[in-house]
Chain A
Amino acid sequence: MSDRVAIVGLAQTKFEEQKPAQGFSELAYEVVEKVLAQTGLTIEEDIDSTVTASQDFWDGRTISDIPIGDVAGGHLRPEEKVAMDSAQAVYYATIQILSGHYDVVLVVSHCKESQACRSVIENAAFDPLYQRIIGFDFLAAAALQARRYMYKYGITEAQCAKAAVKNLKNAQKNPYAQRSMVVTVEQVLNSPLLASPIHQLETKPQSDGACAVILAGEEKARQITDKPVWVRGLGNCYDGYYLGDRDLADCQSLIIAAQRAYKMAGIKNPLRQVDVAEVSEEYAHQELLWYEGLGFCDRGDGGKLISRGVTEIGGKLPVNPSGGVLAGNPTTVAGMVRVAEAALQLRGEAGERQVPHARTAIAHGQSGYCGQHHCVLILGSD
């Protein structure tokens, strides 16, 4: 029975706008093979359980983990699918180990956005009785959120665009990143307007890819690697559903999720105690809003925080040195990529995007339009 759980291995594919050469099995196998090789573990001898994350809707497949069972240790073995952003799959794997039922868990997530039609799928997330008929997708909902957020707190378009500028530039140093570029705020705001006030360079691109991590209880973790990344805290929370029920300028479910995670990890002042954060920003303005939910600044000060350069590489708390979701991650996979990138930082293996002396990191994932469900993990080198 383990009181502590660590990430002992991780792997990701290069993210691309499309990966026509691979079906789901091959895509998932790529990261499973990599992470098993990295850790020297085998499915038969070492893996007790597998947790996967994928979506029936995106895969066009009822029970979308069926093709993943073969490649991820599902044959005559336990495998469970979390049908949410994969940070939640890492959370659940941690719970499995803390429960005492399993000790080493493989977590795998995949998604090929190129195979499906995003707006139709996202529209189906709006309930069939009340909201769907209006024709929403996540972009439209996020646009409402951005407008409300800017209005309530005086956040400017330029401040939102700064998140895109920062992340797209950070991605230049990330070999897995789908896209990267050096652009100015002006260029971002001159990119095509998709849904006011959101511009094209402020949205995540279509993406295909997969990610895998292995978690283990303390004793096994120390046998498997000399650089275990400890899960020191976790928290998640659902917000309300109807767009009209929420003040879209707020993110109370992120505040609650973060507080739960911080409490477990003994963090009272994230700006001082956290060295690096990987957050899931599907739209540029969301990064600013998530700063507030994560307690990096007061409510309404997300714009000020980014303007002061606090979250730049070299700043007090670098956010998304990997380039984040704006650099290109598929839905569902994005959260685990944040976990993997944060773990790389803590292992000192983040190459050119390394934040020096990183010992405590935040990895954040979210599900549902406008970030209804948030999942926060605090990771540490000790």
Chain B
Amino acid sequence: MPKTASKEFLTMPFTLSLPFKFSAGPYLGRFFTELRDHAKLWANRCPRCQRVMLPPRVVCGACHAPAGEWVEVADKGKLITYTVVVFPMSDPMTGKVKPVPYGFGGIQLEGADSILGHFLEETNLNKLRIGLRMRAVFKPREERLGDLTDILFFRTIEE
């Protein structure tokens, strides 16, 4: 590995590359399978507080009650919050810098209590406001791999 000596201070460059294979587990596993195969979104409900949770999970953290029934949620909902990011940042899954500007927001899908954070198609701040109705735009079936990017982004539903 090359060492570079600046005029005064010696430094050692190093790139840490850590490969991983993450098990999805049964809950995320089912969510991603349904997303990939059917473009459907499934959440689960806490039997105690009745919260419909995305992502579906093994326990409700607040109640410590084990996961309840599966609930399908709509692929559309309300924009709860948003921003347009102009500062370039890398996508940690690919190492590539995400092209800017991109819209990023929180959507409450119909039927769900949790809010889903995802890309927004719209990058013009003037056209975004809290309360807008949004719909998920999915990748075509052959491009879907079973992760959240199977949804490309959320598109404003024109009234």
- Seen from chain A, the residues whose Cβ lies within 8 Å of a Cβ on chain B are 19-23, 25-26, 29, 33, 42-44, 57, 60, 69-71, 73-76, 112, 114-117, 120-121, 124, 128-129, 132-133
| Contact yes or no, A70 B59, CB < 8 A | yes
| Contact yes or no, A120 B17, CB < 8 A | yes
Q: Could you jot down 8 A-B contacts, CB within 8 Å?
A: A20-B23, A29-B59, A44-B64, A71-B59, A75-B61, A115-B21, A116-B19, A124-B16
CA distance A345 to B58 in the complex (A): 32
- Report which of B20, B28, B62, B64 forms a contact with A60, defined as CB distance below 8 A: B20
| Contact yes or no, B18 A23, CB < 8 A | no
B87 within 8 A of A: no
| Contact yes or no, A21 B18, CB < 8 A | no
B9 within 8 A of A: no
Contact with A along B15-35 (1 / 0, CB 8 A): 011111111111110000000
| Contact yes or no, A128 B57, CB < 8 A | no
| Contact yes or no, B14 A26, CB < 8 A | no
| Contact yes or no, B23 A112, CB < 8 A | yes
| Contact yes or no, B12 A128, CB < 8 A | yes
Known: A25-B58, A112-B23. A120 touches B1 (CB 8 A): no
Contact with A along B103-140 (1 / 0, CB 8 A): 00000000000000000000000000000000000000
Which residues of A are found within 8 Å of B25, using beta-carbon distances? 21-23, 25-26
Which residues of A are found within 8 Å of B24, using beta-carbon distances? 23
Which residues of A are found within 8 Å of B27, using beta-carbon distances? 26
Across the A-B interface, the 5 shortest Cβ-Cβ residue pairs: A23-B25, A70-B61, A75-B61, A60-B20, A43-B64
Which residues of A are found within 8 Å of B12, using beta-carbon distances? 128-129, 133
Nearest CB in chain B: distance from A157 CB, A: 34
Which residues of A are found within 8 Å of B18, using beta-carbon distances? 57, 60, 116-117, 120-121
CA distance A255 to B127 in the complex (A): 68
> With contacts A60-B22, A121-B18 known, what are 5 further pairs, Cβ within 8 A?
A23-B22, A26-B58, A42-B64, A70-B60, A73-B64
The number of residues on chain B lying at the interface, defined by a beta carbon within 8 Å of a beta carbon of chain A, is 24
- Report which of B14, B60, B66 forms a contact with A128, defined as CB distance below 8 A: B14
| Contact yes or no, A25 B57, CB < 8 A | yes
CA distance A44 to B48 in the complex (A): 13
CA distance A132 to B12 in the complex (A): 11
| Contact yes or no, A75 B26, CB < 8 A | no
Contact with A along B60-79 (1 / 0, CB 8 A): 11101010000000000000
| Contact yes or no, B19 A70, CB < 8 A | no
CA distance A23 to B66 in the complex (A): 15
Which residues of B are found within 8 Å of A69, using beta-carbon distances? 61
CA distance A178 to B25 in the complex (A): 21
Query: Using a CB-CB cutoff of 8 Å, which residues 42-66 of chain B contact chain A?
Result: 57-62, 64, 66
| Contact yes or no, B61 A71, CB < 8 A | yes
- Report which of A21, A73, A133 forms a contact with B26, defined as CB distance below 8 A: A21
| Contact yes or no, A26 B26, CB < 8 A | yes
CA distance A73 to B16 in the complex (A): 33
| Contact yes or no, B14 A132, CB < 8 A | yes
Nearest CB in chain A: distance from B63 CB, A: 8
Q: Which residue of A lies closest to B14 (CB)?
A: A128
Q: Which residue of B lies closest to A18 (CB)?
A: B23
Known: A22-B25, A25-B25, A128-B12. A116 touches B58 (CB 8 A): no
CA distance A204 to B66 in the complex (A): 34
Nearest CB in chain B: distance from A339 CB, A: 24
Nearest CB in chain B: distance from A137 CB, A: 14
Known: A23-B23, A60-B22, A129-B12. A29 touches B58 (CB 8 A): yes
Best-buried of B18, B24, B60 by chain A (most CB within 10 Å):
B18
Which residues of B are found within 8 Å of A120, using beta-carbon distances? 16-19
Known: A132-B14, A133-B1. A71 touches B58 (CB 8 A): yes
Best-buried of A23, A57, A71, A115 by chain B (most CB within 10 Å):
A23
Which residues of B are found within 8 Å of A128, using beta-carbon distances? 12, 14
CA distance A142 to B1 in the complex (A): 25
Which residues of A are found within 8 Å of B17, using beta-carbon distances? 120
| Contact yes or no, A116 B20, CB < 8 A | yes
Which residues of A are found within 8 Å of B64, using beta-carbon distances? 42-44, 71, 73, 75
